[in-house]
C-alpha cells in the first residue's frame, strides 16, 4: 500500500532532479540566513551558485553534533523565532542538549513521512496504535503520534514502561500496532509471558515499529516470536525531524530513505571521503525541505551501508541496511575493536538465553557479559549452566576475539530503562 504512490515510486531521474532543485534552494537559504554556514562557505570558497549537480554536494561543509552544540540555542535557525512552531531536544551524552526547531511546514512534513512509513507496511485507518516511546522533548513519540493520526488510526499515547497498564490498554482497545525500543519490546515479551498472556491468542497485535537503538536480526526474530507480530525497523534522529527518515517496507529488507526530503551519503568516518557503493561507512544526511533548521551534510555517526538495487515493493527510494552501531559506540578492549552489536548477535542466537544483557568493563580491561536466562528455576542444574556459560564464552571469543567472563542471571535481574537501554557500563581505570 502507498500513501503517496507518485513520489514513492518516482522515476530516479525525476527524483534526482527534484533533489537538486531542493538542494540549491536550501543552500541559498542557509547562505542568506545562517551566519555559521555563511562563514563555512567563505572558508571553503564555495558559493550557492556553484552547486550545479548533486555531486557538487561534496563541495559543501559537513555539520557535526559539536556544531549544533556550539550554536545552541538559536544559532542555526534559518527562520525568525516567530516562525518556529515546536522545539525538540536531543539528549546526546554530555553538556547542553542540541536544540532542534520545527516550523509549521516541518511539523507537517515529519507527520507526513511517518504516515507514509506506516502505510508502507499495511497500516490503515482501522488500526489502533499504542505508542510506547517516550513523550516529551524526545522526537520519538510525538512525531509518530501525529503520523498515525494523519493516517486516521486511533492513537493511544501510552508512553514507555508501566507494563501492567500497557497490557490493559492493549486488551481493552484492541491495539494492533505498537512503536517501541528493542529493549522495551524484549522486556514486554517477558512481562506478558509471566502473566500467562499469549499475544497471538489474547491480543490483536500485528505489527511493531522498533527503533531508536541499534539491534540485530537475531533480536528482531526474538521479538517477533515472543510477541507474535511483524517487526519493522524504523530509523530517525532528532536532527532530521525524528522518526520517519527511513523505514522498512513489507519486505523487511533494508529501510527506504525518503529521498525527496533527505540526501544520503555514506563516508569513511576517518577521511570524510565516500565509500564504494554498498560498503559500510558513516551515514551523512542533508535535509532538503527543512525550513526552521536546515542541516547540510550532517554527520550522524551511525554506521550502515546503502542498497541501491530496486526493491520489489516498487519504491524507488534507496534503502539502508540495519544500523550496526554508532561510530562512537566502538569499544576498544585489550587493543581489539568491538561493537556491542557483535555481542548481542551471539547472545540472541543462543537458546536458553533470555532477553536482557549488559556489558561491563572493569579494572584494567576486564570484560564481563551479563545475560539473563530464558527461564527461572535453573538453580539446581549447575552442570547445564556451566556448559551454557562456557559455550557462550567460546562463541563470544570467536566473534570478538576477546574471551569475556560470562555471568548468567535469573530473568528480570538486569535493569530496564524507560528510554534507550544502557548496554555498556565502562568503569575501567585505564
What does 311 bind: Zn ion, ligand ADP, none (CB cut-off 5 to 8 Å by kind)? Zn ion
Strand-pairing partners, residue 100, are 88
Q: If binding is defined by CB under 6 A, does position 214 make contact with ligand ADP? A: yes
In the complex with ligand ADP, which residue's Cβ is closer, 91 or 384?
A: 91
Which cell is 265 given?
Answer: 551519503
Query: Binding ligand ADP by CB under 6 A: which of 166, 234, 305, 358?
Result: 234
In the complex with Zn ion, which residue's Cβ is closer, 278 or 363?
A: 278
Q: Is the link from the previous residue into 73 a cis peptide, with omega within 30 of 0?
A: yes
Query: With left for phi above 0 and alpha for psi between -120 and 50, is residue 377 left, alpha or beta?
Result: left
Residue whose C-alpha cell is 563541495: 59
Q: How far is the CB of 329 from ligand ADP (least distance, A)?
A: 8
Distances (CA, A) of 40 to 69, 88, 129, 180, 291: 16, 25, 44, 38, 19
Q: How far is the CB of 134 from ligand ADP (least distance, A)?
A: 9
Stretch that binds ligand ADP, among 133-141, 158-166, 193-201, 333-341 (CB under 6 A): 133-141
What does 90 bind: ligand ADP, Zn ion, none (CB cut-off 5 to 8 Å by kind)? ligand ADP
Q: How many CA atoms lie within 13 A of 399 on its CB side?
A: 18
In the complex with ligand ADP, which residue's Cβ is closer, 321 or 407?
A: 321
What does 411 bind: Zn ion, ligand ADP, none (CB cut-off 5 to 8 Å by kind)? none
Neighbours of 227 (CB within 10 A): 22
Query: Binding Zn ion by CB under 5 A: which of 169, 311, 349, 393?
Result: 311
What does 214 bind: ligand ADP, Zn ion, none (CB cut-off 5 to 8 Å by kind)? ligand ADP
In the complex with ligand ADP, which residue's Cβ is closer, 80 or 94?
A: 94
Which cell is 355 given?
Answer: 532477553
In the complex with ligand ADP, which residue's Cβ is closer, 92 or 278?
A: 92
Is the distance from CB of 359 to CB of 340 less than 8 angstroms? Answer: yes
| C-alpha to C-alpha distance for 175 and 193, rounded to whole angstroms | 18
Angle at 156 between CA 154 and CA 161, to 5 degrees: 155
114 alpha-carbon distance from chain centroid = 14
Query: Binding Zn ion by CB under 5 A: which of 18, 31, 46, 313?
Result: 313
Q: If binding is defined by CB under 6 A, does position 91 make contact with ligand ADP? A: yes
Q: If binding is defined by CB under 6 A, does position 92 make contact with ligand ADP? A: yes
Neighbours of 152 (CB within 10 A): 13
Q: How far is the CB of 53 from ligand ADP (least distance, A)?
A: 28
What does 234 bind: Zn ion, ligand ADP, none (CB cut-off 5 to 8 Å by kind)? ligand ADP
| C-alpha to C-alpha distance for 343 and 424, rounded to whole angstroms | 11
In the complex with ligand ADP, which residue's Cβ is closer, 205 or 231?
A: 231
Query: Binding ligand ADP by CB under 6 A: which of 147, 160, 211, 281?
Result: 211
Is the distance from CB of 61 to CB of 44 less than 8 angstroms? Answer: yes
Stretch that binds Zn ion, among 150-158, 179-187, 217-225, 244-252 (CB under 5 A): 244-252
End-to-end CA distance of the chain: 54
Neighbours of 379 (CB within 10 A): 8
In the complex with ligand ADP, which residue's Cβ is closer, 51 or 183?
A: 183
Which cell is 348 given?
Answer: 540472541
| C-alpha to C-alpha distance for 185 and 175, rounded to whole angstroms | 15
Q: Considering only residues 140-179, where is the footprint of ligand ADP by CB under 6 A? A: 140
In the complex with ligand ADP, which residue's Cβ is closer, 130 or 234?
A: 234
Binding site for Zn ion (CB under 5 A): 249, 311, 313, 315
Binding site for ligand ADP (CB under 6 A): 90-92, 138-140, 211-214, 233-238, 300, 302, 323, 326
Amino acid at each position: 500500500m502507498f500513501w503517496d504512490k507518485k513520489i514513492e515510486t518516482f522515476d530516479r531521474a525525476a527524483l534526482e532532479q527534484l533533489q537538486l532543485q531542493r538542494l540549491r534552494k536550501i543552500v541559498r537559504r542557509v547562505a542568506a540566513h545562517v551566519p555559521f554556514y555563511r562563514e563555512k562557505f567563505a572558508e571553503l570558497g564555495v558559493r550557492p551558485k556553484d552547486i550545479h549537480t548533486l555531486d557538487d554536494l561534496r563541495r559543501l561543509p559537513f555539520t557535526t553534533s559539536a556544531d549544533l552544540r556550539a550554536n545552541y540555542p538559536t544559532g542555526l535557525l534559518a527562520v525568525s523565532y516567530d516562525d518556529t512552531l515546536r522545539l525538540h531536544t536531543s539528549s546526546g551524552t554530555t553538556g547542553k542538549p542540541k536544540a532542534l526547531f520545527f516550523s509549521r511546514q516541518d511539523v507537517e512534513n515529519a507527520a507526513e513521512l511517518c504516515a507514509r512509513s506506516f502505510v508502507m507496511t499495511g497500516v490503515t485507518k482501522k488500526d489502533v496504535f499504542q505508542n510506547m516511546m517516550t513523550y516529551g522533548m524526545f522526537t520519538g513519540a510525538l512525531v509518530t503520534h501525529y503520523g498515525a493520526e494523519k493516517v486516521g488510526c486511533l492513537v493511544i499515547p501510552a508512553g514507555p514502561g508501566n507494563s501492567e497498564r500497557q497490557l490493559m490498554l492493549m486488551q481493552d482497545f484492541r491495539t494492533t500496532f505498537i512503536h517501541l525500543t528493542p529493549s522495551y519490546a524484549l522486556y514486554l515479551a517477558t512481562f506478558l509471558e509471566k502473566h500467562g498472556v499469549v499475544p497471538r491468542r489474547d491480543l490483536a497485535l500485528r505489527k511493531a515499529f522498533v527503533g531508536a537503538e541499534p539491534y540485530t536480526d537475531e533480536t528482531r526474530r526474538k521479538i517477533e516470536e515472543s510477541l507474535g507480530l511483524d517487526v519493522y525497523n524504523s530509523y530517525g534522529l532528532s536532527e532530521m525531524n525524528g522518526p520517519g527518515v527511513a523505514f522498512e517496507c513489507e519486505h523487511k529488507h533494508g529501510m527506504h530513505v525518503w529521498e525527496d526530503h533527505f540526501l544520503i551519503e555514506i563516508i569513511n568516518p576517518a577521511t570524510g571521503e565516500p565509500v564504494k557503493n554498498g560498503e559500510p561507512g558513516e551515514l551523512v544526511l542533508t535535509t532538503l525541505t527543512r525550513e526552521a533548521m536546515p542541516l547540510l551534510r550532517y554527520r550522524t555517526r551511525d554506521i550502515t551501508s546503502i542498497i541501491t538495487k530496486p526493491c520489489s515493493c516498487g519504491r524507488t527510494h534507496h534503502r539502508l541496511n540495519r544500523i550496526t552501531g554508532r561510530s562512537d559506540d566502538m569499544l576498544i578492549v585489550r587493543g581489539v575493536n568491538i561493537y556491542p552489536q557483535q555481542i548481542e548477535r551471539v547472545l540472541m542466537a543462543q537458546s536458553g538465553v533470555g532477553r536482557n544483557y549488559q556489558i561491563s568493563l572493569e579494572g584494567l580491561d576486564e570484560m564481563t557479559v551479563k545475560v539473563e536466562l530464558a527461564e527461572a528455576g535453573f538453580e539446581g542444574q549447575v552442570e547445564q549452566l556451566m556448559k551454557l556459560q562456557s559455550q557462550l564464552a567460546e562463541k563470544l571469543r570467536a566473534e570478538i576475539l576477546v574471551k569475556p567472563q560470562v555471568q548468567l542471571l535469573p530473568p528480570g535481574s538486569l535493569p530496564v530503562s524507560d528510554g534507550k537501554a544502557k548496554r555498556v557500563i565502562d568503569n575501567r581505570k585505564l
